[in-house]
Chains A and B, each alone.
Chain A
Amino acid sequence: MGAGHGHKLHYHGHSWLHRAPAHLKLLALLAFMLLVVATPRLWFPVFGVYLLVLCALVASSGVPPLYLLRRLVVEVPFLVFALVLPFVASGPRTEVLGLSVSAHGLLGAWGLLAKGTLGVLASMLLAATTEPRALLAGLERLHLPTQLVQIMGFMIRYLDVVTEEMRRMQVARESRGFRARNPKHWPVLAKSAGALFIRSYERGERVHLAMLSRGYDGTMPR
């Protein structure tokens, strides 16, 4: 929690993509996602075009490709699912590298992989080129209900605080010789999660008190 570090997903820069209005970027992302999802998965070359477009955008944004690739790990659970799909799906079988797999499953896996990766990559690019605050302002300009925008604002503000609290609790647990090695230790983790929830809830109440003390009357001043 030192001074001056940026948000974890944001990559500081001054490219045209960084400077573009956030609400336009959001709309572009939404349109792109819809397009990708609506594309039949057998149109292989079209997916190549999508990827090329994204790569061109990444190149012009000045965000190092490796920076984005490393953050693609959030996709891993879906990838695992996609890899399992050809083996568990039913229907006619084909041979791939000497393994018998379901043709349906293989196609399903490809679809998941291609659409998922394109979607995640595009979202990462948006996050890397847009500050969280600008993103919220963009959502507001798109007339998302202010209450939702406020909730997201609070989330961004307190994410670091709660993460830090969680880390401190972990350090305190481990300092007393605890390590979660097997399912027998899960009750301890569950209790920690419960404690973290209660602490966050109480912090929420204290924040509310502090807001009331400054004349908050239930609506954000605008």
Chain B
Amino acid sequence: MTPPPVLDLDGVAYAYPDGHQALYGVNLQIRPGERVALLGPNGAGKTTLVLHLNGILAAGAGRVRISGLDVTKATLMEVRRRVGVVFQDPDDQLFMGTVREDVAFGPMNLGLRGAELEQRVHEALSAVGMADYADRPPHHLSFGQRRRVAVATVLAMRPEILVLDEPSSNLDPASRRELADILRGLDVTVLLVTHDLPYALELCPRSVVLSDGIVVADGATIDVLTDDALMRAHRLELPFGFDPHALRAQVTARHR
């Protein structure tokens, strides 16, 4: 028997209290070990969708399941352990006095203490190459370093799926590549929410396009990016000089 999908959305719909409907029935399944990009123009409902994955928002209709576990009030704690969300602005995520305390915050909420906690923190910081900065206050780090520590704060909870909201935004090219190397090296299912189409192609074999609150495409990233009609219809524009058609052979070889 195959394991249940890490992420299983079935007809998820949501309207904000002010009446604005953001999601109109989203279906999405992600298998363990996959790296999937969630693409879509501004206002497509990407962030709203992310907030459903760990129960911050509760679906008005439909169902969210994480590794077979329904997201309900009773399962909230376990769901938040399984789904690690890295928000866009690291300053929102890092709020403690030192990097170490910040990375320890999540596992401590899970009840970890002592040597085991210490071990988790070290492991998470090493995974993002920031172990030497454990005792520094987060606001003294560079932006790229803060983003990496933000990833570590979530890794320390050993999530089953890592959800990153615009991880490449505001990073210089070197930090952007370093983060890509780190993400590629992690042994965890990843959902990458992004506008950065080259980044999606580089990291994620599969892409899902969300537009106006529904999934309009779900397939190999290279196929999605080379579907010119689809791209145009949903305001997905490739950056100047970036031609996925020319990269097909290279990408297929890498993702095999």
Contact = CB atoms under 8 A, between A and B. Distances in A.
B109 interface: yes
Contacts of B109: 214-217, 221
A153 interface: yes
Contact of B153 (A3, A153, A160, A214): A214
Interface residues of A, number: 29
Interface stretch (A31-39, A87-95, A99-107, A204-212): A204-212
Interface in B72-108: 77, 80-81, 83-85, 87, 89, 91-93, 95-98, 105-106, 108
B190 interface: no
B145 A157 contact: no
Q: How large is the interface on B (under 10, 10 to 19, 20 to 34, 35 or more residues)?
A: 20 to 34
B134 to A, nearest CB: 13
Contact of B96 (A1, A5, A157, A212): A157
Which of A1, A136, A154, A203 has the most C-beta atoms of chain B within 10 angstroms of its own C-beta? A1
Contacts of A217: 77, 109
Nearest to A215: B109
A161 interface: yes
B95 A211 contact: yes
Contact of A213 (B56, B97, B139, B140): B56
20 contacts: A1-B139, A2-B142, A3-B140, A133-B97, A133-B137, A153-B97, A157-B95, A160-B139, A206-B89, A206-B92, A207-B93, A210-B85, A210-B92, A210-B93, A213-B83, A213-B84, A214-B106, A217-B77, A221-B105, A221-B109
Given A133-B137, A161-B139, A212-B80, A206 B95 contact: no
Nearest to B51: A209
A203 B91 CA distance: 9
A4 interface: yes
Contacts of A161: 91, 139
Given A160-B139, A212-B56, A207 B97 contact: no
A108 B225 CA distance: 77
A154 B95 contact: yes
Q: Lowest 3 CB-CB distances: which A-B pairs, in order?
A: A221-B108, A215-B109, A214-B106
A142 interface: no
B55 to A, nearest CB: 9
Given A157-B97, A209-B56, A214 B105 contact: yes
A156 interface: yes
Contact of B87 (A1, A156, A209): A209
Contacts of A222: 108
Contacts of B145: 3
B92 A215 contact: no
Nearest to B81: A215
Nearest to B80: A215
Contacts of B61: none
Contacts of A210: 85, 87, 92-93, 95
B154 interface: yes
A214 B80 contact: yes
Contacts of A212: 56, 80
Given A1-B139, A214-B153, 15 more contacts: A3-B142, A5-B140, A133-B97, A156-B97, A157-B96, A157-B97, A161-B91, A209-B56, A209-B92, A213-B84, A213-B154, A214-B80, A214-B109, A217-B77, A222-B108
B189 interface: no
B174 to A, nearest CB: 15
Given A3-B145, A206-B92, A215 B139 contact: no
A133 B92 CA distance: 19
A156 to B, nearest CB: 7
Nearest to B138: A157
Contacts of A207: 92-93, 95
B157 interface: yes
A153 B105 CA distance: 14
B80 A133 contact: no
Contacts of B140: 3-5
Nearest to A210: B93
Contacts of B91: 158, 161, 203
A222 B111 CA distance: 9
